[in-house]
Homo-oligomer: A and B are copies of this chain.
């Protein structure tokens, strides 16, 4: 069986998720299109890199991503670093002819994303951007229903992604609160997942009218080199640093198809932890999804008998997309790792078949175009074309 050597750059929370996905994919998807080999992991210090290799099952560790990316035995470069380094690493990896999977958002803005797309296109490698949620089996099921016309012409899309880990003003700062590193705040971090989901399910977005808000304008500096997210640390090192990105974004969307949409994303929604979801209303039915109950899809068909019409709660299982690859009974529990494992499978399959993955850097770039338009609209107070 074909093996593909992976170099992973960055070993934080996302690195862990990717490492486990590489390990689990060939077990669930058997026989796998190819076996990903955890060859080398890169982090900023030798200690961190070595610990990551041990923990995450990589054969080697390094602090020199550039050297690693250029190693002839590496087939795949997996970019799990903060947003500001994506472009440079991707360019180098493309130049070296490596296939690339890059965590989302692809870049800090569309212009940066464009250079990345150009690099991978010129290199002719397979590229993917880590908008993993579109691989959730229930979302795949939604796509299947839409493609089959089961809810008719799509009229509207209500998308949201709400978290609360930064709602507390004492949650420490991190690279996610810095425009220089992250590009934007909730918009880039989680709003782009909504944009990707919307594009995946309904197609391109043409124009937006948007508002951005920053509810907490300064935060304690972090006492940790790591992204703390919802760790419960609420004081950091004490000193205050300014926040120059958005906490929340609200937008109207106009799709090329004529459908209308709304997008709401915030990291300050008390009680919403990973509340990514949507409601798609069609002429003949409605589909509703909420990632906090990721094993379920709500579907309503207008051609059901009048007296027993209602939203059906469909549980992900053997009869839905990818369901036969996991557990033999519905309702056993789809986890985050399963979603990342499917993402891994689709990327490795694309690499093996010598074709583009989806979502690709092109998708990542188009998402950035929407994100840029949202920022433009928010600052001009006008609709902005994408």
A interface residues, Cβ below 8 angstroms from B: 13, 16-17, 19-20, 23-24, 26-27, 30-31, 55-57, 141, 144-145, 150-151, 155-156, 158, 162-165, 167-169, 209-211, 213, 215, 227-232, 248, 250-252, 254, 260-262, 264, 266, 268-275, 281-286, 291-296, 299-302, 304, 306-315, 317-320, 324, 326-339, 381-383
Contacts and interface: CB of A to CB of B under 8 A. Distances in A.
B231 A328 contact: yes
A55 B23 CA distance: 11
Nearest to A381: B383
Contacts of A302: 164, 167-168, 270-271
Q: Which 8 A-B pairs have the closest CB atoms?
A: A335-B335, A271-B300, A273-B331, A274-B331, A229-B328, A273-B330, A310-B312, A310-B314
A382 to B, nearest CB: 6
A84 to B, nearest CB: 20
A31 B38 CA distance: 19
Nearest to A16: B27
Nearest to A23: B23
B309 A314 contact: yes
Contacts of A301: 308
Contact of A314 (B27, B272, B274, B308): B308
B330 A274 contact: yes
Contact of A141 (B31, B213, B229, B307): B307
Contacts of A151: 270
Contact of A211 (B254, B273, B296): B254
B155 A215 contact: yes
B317 A230 contact: yes
A56 B23 CA distance: 10
Nearest to A330: B273
A310 to B, nearest CB: 4
Contacts of A264: 156, 158, 262
A273 B23 CA distance: 28
B311 A248 contact: no
B248 A155 contact: yes
Contacts of A163: 329
Given A19-B27, A254-B211, A262-B264, A292 B295 contact: yes
